[in-house]
Structure 1
Amino acid sequence: MCLLVPGQDALMNLSATVLLALGMSMDAFAASIGKGATLHNPKFSEALRTGLIFGAVETLMPLIGWALGMLATQFVLEWNHWIAFFLLLFLGCRMVIEGFRGNDAEDAPPLRHGFWLLVTTAIATSLDAMAVGVGLAFLQVNILTTALAIGCATLVMSTTGMMIGRFIGPLLGKRAEILGGIVLMGIGVQILWSHYAG
């Protein structure tokens, strides 16, 4: 995800806010499809739970970035892509290993993901939103409205992604967890590539 370029007297309009919110929610959407695919027939309540966790984290991250931006720190901009990359690489490798390890017929897919696993994944996929929050500190924006828009978009996209994953999971069987891990690692690589590609 690209960071907004601070501009003098720049004011984000509704369409820009919506586009930003959708852009920030894409990583969470991709990750949630993988999460949904690895579960055993997840219900809508579980999809909504995942969406709420992803949405809440995605709402907080621009606010944290905005606060850091007000302090004029460069740490987030210099290291956020590496932190996201290694977190997603770790989570993805873990899923791939678990996918290869669980080859017994009696091994049933889990009914739900652990809370802290979802929070960690949400943080990893939302570090770009924190970097965007740093940029927003230099623009004339209502940071609360923007953060809520990003969070709501992520809630909807993550819940939808989980439900899409529900239908993909039975088709993939044991390979779903491996694919989900590869998706997470791919998101990490994409974040790193986007940063250095400008």
Structure 2
Amino acid sequence: MGEWMTLLFMSVALGMDAFSIGLGMGMLSLRIRQIMKIGMTIGIFHMLMPLAGMTLGKQISVHFGGIAAIIGGILLVILGVTMIRSSFSSDDEPFVQPIGIGLFVFALSASLDSFSVGLSLGIYGAKTWLTITMFGLMSMVLTWAGLIMGKKVQKWLGSYGEAFGGCILLAFGVKILFPF
């Protein structure tokens, strides 16, 4: 029971990252079908990344944990800056779209921290299937919540919604790169 509760809290913490990123990305004009697809993709990445981390576990945890966080932070800063820049251009289409390669980059940036957690859990010897299932489901649900909330906020903010979403992603990336 103690391990289950620990994994539940960890999955909520990792899912809150996905929620925050989803809130920013939700400022784009997304359809419900896109929101569902994004949430499922993030959920899958939040299963694959800790699985890879747990598999590698003891071998590279000391060296790679910090690098994964730095890469995730850099990707979020890039996404945030491009969203802000795109919001001030005359083009109606945002620069970053969570489709195709953009969805891959979005999901990767949201789930890199779960790779680091997976490394730690691999050393600890956590139950693999329980861990990745909880991480995947929680991040999927919280991503959906963030995207839907962002979509609602975008209606209130109008054309400034994408810039605001970019600011959220930028701030989150900076927070990862420079923890206070």
Normalised to the residue count of structure 1, the TM-score between the two structures is 0.82
Report 1:14-29 matches (<5 A).
Answer: 14-29=4-19
State yes or no: 1:179 paired with 2:169. no
Distance 1:78 1:31, change over 3 A: closer
Q: Residue in 2 aligned with 1:158?
A: 143
- Tell me how far 1:109 sits from its aligned partner: 7.1
Q: Residue in 1 aligned with 2:71?
A: 83
Distance 1:108 1:84, change over 3 A: closer
Q: Residue in 2 aligned with 1:138?
A: 123
State yes or no: 1:169 paired with 2:157. no
Residues 12 and 140, structure 1, Cα contact 8 Å, conserved in 2: no
CA distance in structure 1 between the partners assigned to 2:66 and 2:114 by the alignment: 14
Alpha-carbon RMSD across the aligned residues, in angstroms, is 2.1
Deviates more, 1:66-75 or 1:14-23: 66-75
Q: Residue in 2 aligned with 1:8?
A: none
Q: Point out where structure 2 has 5 or more consecutive residues left out of the alignment.
A: none
Residues 83 and 165, structure 2, Cα contact 8 Å, conserved in 1: yes
Q: Residue in 2 aligned with 1:54?
A: 42
Residues 47 and 160, structure 1, Cα contact 8 Å, conserved in 2: no
- Tell me how far 1:140 sits from its aligned partner: 2.8
Letter in 1 for 2:64: V
Residues 61 and 116, structure 2, Cα contact 8 Å, conserved in 1: no
Q: How many residues align?
A: 179
Q: Residue in 1 aligned with 2:82?
A: 94
- Tell me how far 1:13 sits from its aligned partner: 1.8
Greater fraction of residues in helix: 2
- Tell me how far 1:83 sits from its aligned partner: 1.0
Report 1:33-44 matches (<5 A).
Answer: 33-39=23-29, 42-44=30-32
Give percent identity, aligned residues only.
27
Q: Residue in 2 aligned with 1:128?
A: 113
- Tell me how far 1:71 sits from its aligned partner: 2.3
- Tell me how far 1:190 sits from its aligned partner: 1.8
- Tell me how far 1:70 sits from its aligned partner: 3.6
- Tell me how far 1:27 sits from its aligned partner: 1.3
Normalised to the residue count of structure 2, the TM-score between the two structures is 0.89
Distance 1:167 1:78, change over 3 A: closer
What are the superposed Cα offsets for residues 108-135 of structure 1, whole Å, 9 maximum, x if unpaired? 779x732321221121121111111111
**Structure number, greater radius of gyration:** 1
Letter in 1 for 2:83: M
